[in-house]
A and B are shown apart, each in its own frame.
Chain A
Amino acid sequence: MARITIDGIAVEVRDDATILEAARKAGIDIPYFCYHPYLKPAGLCRMCLVEVEGMPKLTPACVTQVRDGMVVRTDTPRVKKAREGIIEFQLLHHPLDCPYCDQAGECMLQDITYRYGRATSRFVDEKELFPTKFYGPFIVYEQSRCILCKRCVRFTHEYMAGTDWNVYFRAAHSLIGTYENKEIADYFTCNLVEICPVGAITSRLYRYKVRYWTLEWARGVCRECGLFCSLDYGIRENKAYRAKHNVNSPGPWICDKGYFGFECMNHPERIKFALERRENKLVNVGLEKVLNGITQALGRYKPEEVAFILPSGLSVEDAAGIRNFMDNFGIKKAEYRVGMEDYLPFGSNVDSLEEISEARNILVLSGDISNSYPVIALTICEAIGKGANVVLLTSWDYYLMKRVNNLFCIKPSCEDGAIYSLFSGKWDEFTGLSREEYERLEAFLQTKPMIVLGPRAQEAVRALIVDYAIKNGLKYIILDRSSSSYVAYTYGLFCKGIDSLLEEVKAGSVKALFVLGVDLFREVPNGKLVRDALGSVDFMVYMGLFFNGTARYADYFLPLTELVEEEAHFVNVFGKLTKSKKSLAREYEERSIREWLKLISEKMGKKLDLEVREFKPKFVLVEGNKKPKDIVLSGSGDFEALFEIPFYRNFRYMEGKSKLLEASPEPVLNVSIYDARSLGLSNGDYVSLDIGGPSFKYKIRVFDELVKGVLVADTGFEGFPVNEALNNRIAKVKIKK
């Protein structure tokens, strides 16, 4: 610990702290632009100059380490003059178009100029102005406003390693951007908006809509993945216009899904009335009639003929409500695992993201972590930046594959086998790993790495890894595709898997379905089964925000609330509880899942208790000595294709998030460089993909890291029913030019 005095106030700080950090602790305001608590100090802007006793020149506080007994002054005339000078230089070419600028009101340049600057400028030269640039669907870059603090560039380098957002040209000609103005939509682009202290990088979603000071801030929670990042939503007149990541929970950064994803709340196509089917159309007949209709219909079925299909991002309250409703009426069947994968066992013995970023060795297995848990992937990248050794064994992980130190890329159908063989200590040549690769992996396993297992892994693999990790004292995070596993599992909201449930519906043993906010056609990679099941279901209630393929089969549509329209608690992957407040008033008939169930239950004469008194998350450990199931590939052809929903479409209520969808406008087929060469394909070509019958048009993206013979194809587009040709995520396919 070092004791230093700043403006007469004594503080005690860590030995490696900087003067700026000490000043923040002492409550003394030192203006800064380029300093950021989560970035490495850079000392670029010189805004933070202070006087240190014994040093002849002024010194930048953000890069100067404290020394015991140091005496710092920030209130001398020299410092004041220096600050005024720096600001005058900053404003030399600054357009000062605050009336237009979206940053106005939260702009550090405005604040600092107001507090420390001179009222007038002595420069009379004409300002140099540059045109606006749009880098992709999310980001507007206004070069004239850029103060070259390099915060954005440092963020991309320290955290997003491998994104070519950079400074181009030199000195006065410096400009920030991407090479050849390529668009940037790299999962975490929103952080550039957040981190830029001025209005040089602003969000296109928020662009020019409202002024910052008209917004009221409401604390909410993003429900896209199991981290449940806290977000503040900027609200004006009962509508959200903006998200902001003000709180460091669970980590300092967020991903685009959360930042741009609140758009569905305001979407013009959102349905806000309870609807009933009348001759092929869903019509508004009034709430009372809808409730009567539902209760009458439900009365016709036995409890075992009713089932629930649940969404990802379920709150504790909703899960409890569903459980109580099911108990009230003796309903047994519910399923949250709609991805047709093994979701169990899941869980982790890691407590926070920080623990991941501090890890020295990380073994990332299977995928697609960056798609399903983006911020975990970002934290892994942060660890790489801090010098960790990260090894990835997967067939597909768009973001991490380009960024890890060691990549072992295998075929999708071999993934489980390879991981299984690694952890059971027996090399198997059919897994696609060579003996030497296997030995390297095994040697890495001896370094006791943290294990992160992605959602594609099978139950046997999951159980084996949990077993192994516990026996050997390793840290592990076992992820699955649902963001609400803890609550859904704790309340027992699962049966035998979505495929067997849909089979039962098809066979007629389940006659009434409640589908809550899931578009089955998009989520279940077996569209034919979904179509058959929904076609033969007797009675179906769909709850959601938008009309979609699944809602087409519904007899009743009940509108749901979303994000800050209801109060809810969530449990994240680390088993921690987060709370989302209710800040928006409801406009029409939208209600949360539990409130709808309560209405229905009360109509049927049974009270539904919605209060959750306590919640203790629990999770299972399945026996660790099963063998992974063999994956039987359907179709024929020389290529093995993995079908995944791309990042910018993989979220709840996709229909209402048009800004995010712009980043993934058409289906892409990722081809390895070998196959691209032998087929004569290059980026941007169109091919058709033959999946045993129908063929689909795809745009080619050559992806260097993929193995030969493997394709990764997008699904989840409207009017693009790839899922219906599949019966699993992996299939054999042919390419036709």
Chain B
Amino acid sequence: MIGPLIKGLSITIRHLFGPKVTIKYPYEKRKVYPRWRGKHVLKLGEDGRERCCYCGLCEAVCPANAIRIYGKEDPIFEKSDVGKIAEIYEIDYRRCIFCGYCQEACPRDAIVLTTEYELAVDSRSKLLRDKEDLTEKR
């Protein structure tokens, strides 16, 4: 009866003075690997324009159907080969499984998964992120 009690307490005491495995989140952040797949960002090109041209490949490849895009003619650049941008770009984080297929499919390296993992919000509707939210801030 007393045997297991001592055994258990000894483990507790050992860990009390041993190295810590938890961190003081949220005051301290966990380090992740650079290839971590977290929240998406829509990259801007060197000239500051959005890179995404609404080719629709990420939308098509997404196994969770999390992406929804509509396109339009770029109001600034009317030359066709650079003239298309996304009008609506939404990622639904209720559905996304962070597989990274979208990043893989993108021919223009526009959609990239970042290491940001803090996606918790206080209502479900806030998990639907629109283009403004996803676009890279410079």
Residues of chain A touching chain B, judged by Cβ–Cβ distance below 8 Å, are 95, 97-100, 104, 129, 131-132, 140, 142, 207-211, 213-214
Contacts and interface: CB of A to CB of B under 8 A. Distances in A.
Interface in B98-128: 107-108
B53 interface: yes
Contacts of B55: 98-100, 104, 211
B81 A129 contact: yes
B81 A208 contact: no
Interface in B10-53: 53
A213 B56 contact: yes
Given A100-B83, A208-B71, A213-B56, 17 more contacts: A95-B81, A99-B57, A99-B107, A99-B108, A100-B80, A100-B84, A131-B80, A132-B79, A132-B80, A132-B81, A142-B80, A207-B73, A208-B84, A209-B71, A209-B72, A210-B70, A211-B59
A213 B57 CA distance: 10
Interface of B: 53-57, 59-60, 70-73, 78-81, 83-84, 107-108
Given A207-B73, A210-B70, A100 B81 contact: yes
24 contacts: A97-B81, A98-B55, A99-B55, A99-B107, A100-B53, A100-B81, A100-B83, A100-B84, A129-B81, A131-B80, A132-B78, A132-B81, A142-B80, A207-B73, A208-B54, A208-B73, A208-B84, A209-B70, A209-B72, A210-B71, A211-B54, A211-B56, A211-B71, A214-B59
Contacts of B108: 99
Contacts of A98: 55
Contacts of B79: 131-132
Contacts of B80: 100, 131-132, 140, 142
User: Which 4 pairs, one residue from A and one from B, show the smallest C-beta to C-beta distance?
Assistant: A99-B55, A211-B56, A132-B80, A208-B84
Nearest to B74: A208
A99 B53 contact: yes
A104 B53 CA distance: 13
A209 B84 CA distance: 9
Nearest to B106: A99
A312 B71 CA distance: 35
B79 to A, nearest CB: 6
Nearest to B85: A208
B60 A213 contact: yes
Contacts of B57: 99
Which of B72, B73, B81 has the most chain A CB atoms inside 10 A of its CB? Answer: B81
Contacts of B54: 208, 211
A212 to B, nearest CB: 9
Contacts of A213: 56, 60
A195 B79 CA distance: 24
A477 to B, nearest CB: 42
Contacts of A210: 70-71
Contacts of B56: 211, 213-214
